[in-house]
């Protein structure tokens, strides 16, 4: 496919699977706890090659000159790693299906709160993580499918769609009171079983898009706009 290295195709496939798994994980209760726990294990195992297949990132870490963009990227990746670590360890501690007999097992409410706290931060950080790589993903997908990035559809229709989805995401973020989970105000995540499942996943997807597109937009506004003009 247009000489795109197989590794990149694998990586983008992996990113899509990771995003899907992330949404599945956020719907903790919808499929039962056992599936949630195993999905978490698979998510963690997929994160390893997601990080490991980008060795150049670590090489760049010390060799490239510092810039604000670079600083933001490093800060986000460290935050994401910390959140992921907390979510994984607390998840293992709470596990009662996948790994129920670990020596670190805990039934503490505080561990559950930590787990909830870290994963709701991840909604925000994963979104920003996506946003920081937005242009890269866009360029890559255009190349993969031989699309013209400057066509009317790609330059006008798609951005309009992302903005609309972002608006929905912001609305969902507010109405679902995600901030109260992020700031440790609520001890349990809310689940409404009268709500159709697709709406739950869709709203978390739009929240990711909101944080991604907002990050993408702000980076352009504050860092790269001047460079262009």
Distance in Å, CB of 28 to other proteins, minimum: 9
C-beta closer to other proteins: residue 75 or 110: 110
Torsion of CA 17, 19, 25, 27, to 10 degrees: -120
Using alpha carbons only, give the angle 159, 164, 168 rounded to the nearest 5 degrees: 140
The three-state secondary structure class of 74 is helix
C-beta closer to other proteins: residue 151 or 180: 180
Distance in Å, CB of 210 to other proteins, minimum: 22
The rounded distance, in Å, linking the Cα atoms of 147 and 38 is: 37
C-beta closer to other proteins: residue 14 or 186: 186
Q: Rule CB under 8 A: which residues touch other proteins? A: 29, 96, 106-110, 112, 180-181, 186-193
Residue ranges of the alpha helices (H) in 55-133? Answer: 55-63, 68-94, 109-132
Distance in Å, CB of 19 to other proteins, minimum: 25
Distance in Å, CB of 119 to other proteins, minimum: 14
C-beta closer to other proteins: residue 10 or 191: 191
The rounded distance, in Å, linking the Cα atoms of 122 and 135 is: 21
C-beta closer to other proteins: residue 62 or 193: 193
Asked if 186 and 180 count as a contact pair (C-beta separation under 8 A), the reply is yes
Distance in Å, CB of 98 to other proteins, minimum: 14
The contacts found for 171-180 with CB under 8 angstroms, 24 or more apart, are 172/203, 172/204, 172/206, 172/207, 173/207, 173/210, 176/203, 178/120, 178/123, 178/207
């Amino acid at each position: 496919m247009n000489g795109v290295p197989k590794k990149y195709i694998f990586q983008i496939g992996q990113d899509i699977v990771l995003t899907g798994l992330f949404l599945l994980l956020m719907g903790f209760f919808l499929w039962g706890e056992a599936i949630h726990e195993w999905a978490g294990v698979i998510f963690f195992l997929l994160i390893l090659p997601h990080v490991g297949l980008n060795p150049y990132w670590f090489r760049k870490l010390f060799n490239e000159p510092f810039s604000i963009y670079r600083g933001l990227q490093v800060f986000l990746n460290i935050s994401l790693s910390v959140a992921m670590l907390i979510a994984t360890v607390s998840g293992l501690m709470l596990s009662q299906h996948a790994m129920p007999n670990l020596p670190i097992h805990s039934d503490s409410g505080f561990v559950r709160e930590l787990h909830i706290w870290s994963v709701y931060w991840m909604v925000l950080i994963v979104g920003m993580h996506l946003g920081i790589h937005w242009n890269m993903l866009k360029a890559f997908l255009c190349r993969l499918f031989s699309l013209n990035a400057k066509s009317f559809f790609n330059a006008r229709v798609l951005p309009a769609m992302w903005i609309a989805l972002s608006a929905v995401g912001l609305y969902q973020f507010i109405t679902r009171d995600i901030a109260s989970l992020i700031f440790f105000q609520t001890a349990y995540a809310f689940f409404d079983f009268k709500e159709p499942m697709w709406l739950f996943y869709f709203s978390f997807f739009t929240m990711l898009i909101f944080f991604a597109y907002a990050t993408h937009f702000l980076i352009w506004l504050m860092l790269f706009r001047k460079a262009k003009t």
